[in-house]
Structure 1
């Protein structure tokens, strides 16, 4: 969540906005009960401390973000040339380490209580307190035909809540969606009032419905609308960015089996409306949306469609399919997604005819990998870890896509980014306060018991 911004594609830039807001909406659903919050620790007091560190460690990353001079320079150049790495390969102002066939940029992220600072340095220590982060980005030259490999690893400390406990809290939260109430909106709004207010500046929760099925499971439909009117009063630049880049976006994500015949989760963004559809039961398992209540296996297909209306064109991709596998180690919980199949690209006809090259290199050989997980570390801090590996081959069409992403970043840099950071910080701190409040009463009750 805090790595240097890259512009691998225009859909990736629009998902920059949709992804954190979708995650926040999901958190409203999964963390709407004290039972889920209690899973953060072995006692109410421990759970509260872990909740404060977890959401506080995430939130401080967005407070008055500063960057040292070297990273400021490197960040701008990498954003412009992520898809044309030859432009930065020999530029010593970008890298903190160089070898014959690789270049490295290391970053340290930390908070002093008033601001969060990213510092480019050659030797960054492991994170040791909530909010601390270490980022390592490596670029490797692959032969002499314009092929390059990017490898990015991020570690972000989020306190001492064990990875397994956080996973259990998520499962318990999903189980709460199997409530008998048909309309879940009052539950979500009253369970986390500060969070609902912070998120409500940009999203209006129009529907949160739980429909019972004959087998005792329930289908949950959530619908929220992007509305920037309330946001403009305090965050006008962020609101303008959402209107320009998110409003014309169309995205669809689904978790399915290999044939696409069974679905376990659907998420869509279209015409400013974000919808989520799932099926669950009292144990919090995600079940097949159609037919028998089959729990979701550890390996599924993540299917993605994404379009953005740019000038007079629709640009994007359909049927991007990746294999998504659960990580269930003793000290790590999360997901791996690997994409080995190129999507169907949507590119203006004139661009396709005039520009040579292929966009499919990232999906060849080992493909493109994303790993997102929580990991217990030997030092005691739990780490939110992210790894992203992708190969690129420079060509005219690849550079054209990179230019679109760079344009989106240019629109985002400056006030829009500052305001989005503030939005996310306030949202995460609101979640910390709401969940802490539910645990304060539980801790007091536990203390008073004989």
Structure 2
């Protein structure tokens, strides 16, 4: 029988051990997950109502990994009080944050989930935090561009990561600033069940999860800003399912950023800011900014096959997944072929066997891949740009897609898209004072 209720217990923080325990239940099944925090936490901060509030919200958001095993319609957090705004935030995480999971498992849940939790009508007092930023590092190009912009603008920051491995470790080493690392240990029984018949598995909103863990660290270690590296392209969804757009990158979208930024600000009395420094930029624009600096060329990776539960091993780029193909595609117009092939270890535009992947990325076949890739028109415009460059024009992938690309979009639309990709959007939530310091370095 499927579970009828997903239970979320009140989390427990052991300051002496730096250990946070999260307990969950699916009817009579019980699960436990832990966070191990580094030394140096402010013991007084851990005793505040602000930290308690964020701890409860983190428990709820992190619970998606256990909820999705059976995806019941009822969620219960009997010991975690929530405001009206926080309830809406939780529902967004469990509906839109799991949008891809529902679509790929053909589960209709939008508008049907119920949440039982006590009412919280109390607003915490302002919790003052030092003026410095906590910057999540994912090991890919985006967070490294954020680092370069912050360093150029002389903004104080600390790299942050959960379960760092492979490209994250090598990237942080190149950054040269001592990081804050958190160890997250998932329940082994949950992992086992996710592979068993009768249980569901699928994508969870990892950016939402890591953001809540970052919020805990911001309070415990003293940071008034969590600075993300999510581009404007992340707001584009993949497919329409159950009457709603399902977006693989929902927790990277500007809509989610707005919701969580408000929740975190209200939970801390207005002291903790949450925003993406790369929101004004397209993926192609970020690629052009990355191309200015070569020191990360052989330590970074945006290939998701490097970030499995078992850890990282093998080359930095698999060369076979849509993410590898997309990143290669947007780098090609702004890098020499020699440099780009040196980064990837192979020329991905010379491999005609991956034609279908590039067709999906550019909107010529299928649907937008369930990956953290840019907009369809963005990929199409970048491929069009390569048709005009002697270094890339004769590549098999470029030649195979060029006729259909021009037929479907037309040169005029593609030219306009190219210009728009390099224009910065005004739709972002970067504080004005910080934006003024950053902007000159992005020119």
Q: Fold match, TM over 0.5? A: no
Q: Greater RCO between the two (CA within 8 Å, min separation 6)?
A: 1
TM-score (norm 2): 0.25
- Larger strand proportion of the pair: 1
TM-score (norm 1): 0.25
- Larger helix proportion of the pair: 2
